[in-house]
Amino acid sequence: MKYFFLFLILTISSKSHSYETDKEICSLSINDSYYRSPFFKNRYIIFTSSKNDLDVKNQMLVVLKPSSKLKIKDLDNFFNWDRKNNMEYIYKILDLVDRNYVVNIDSKEYKKHVLQLKSFCGDKLNEL
């Protein structure tokens, strides 16, 4: 459930997944900025074969009509849709969030993100 609050904050506060100011991006933690990055938002959702995941996936396909495989940004959009439509899938979505909002700090992409962020923000970077 720790990712629930992070997901909720990022989903509500995000503005098309872009940063309004240099100060905003540099005030985020490295992980939070990674969660907002285009690379992370364009990752494919990892579904299990559970009934709950299949329910969410099928409903996402109906509601969102994606042109390709479902991505993290689609999960964010579906979360917002569900909030406006009686929150029938909320717990199933949060389970998906818990499994998909995971950072592998040893991945090449994450390391690249950290280097770019440090280069961009310099001393203003919030590393927590």
CB 27 within 8 Å of CB 125: no
What pLDDT score does 16 carry?
41
Total number of residues shown for the chain:
128
CA-to-CA distance for 126 and 116, rounded, in angstroms? 14
CA-to-CA distance for 66 and 53, rounded, in angstroms? 17
What pLDDT score does 127 carry?
60
- Which of 111, 128, 115, 124 lies closest to 22 in space, CA to CA? 124
| Number of Cβ atoms within 10 Å of the Cβ of 25 | 20
CA-to-CA distance for 89 and 65, rounded, in angstroms? 17
What is the largest distance, in Å, between two alpha-carbon atoms of the chain? 47
CB 117 within 8 Å of CB 89: no
What pLDDT score does 5 carry?
44
pLDDT tens, residue order, the chain (128 aa) = 545 444 444 444 444 434 445 667 788 888 898 999 888 999 999 999 999 999 999 999 999 999 999 999 999 999 999 999 999 999 999 999 999 998 888 999 999 999 988 888 887 776 64
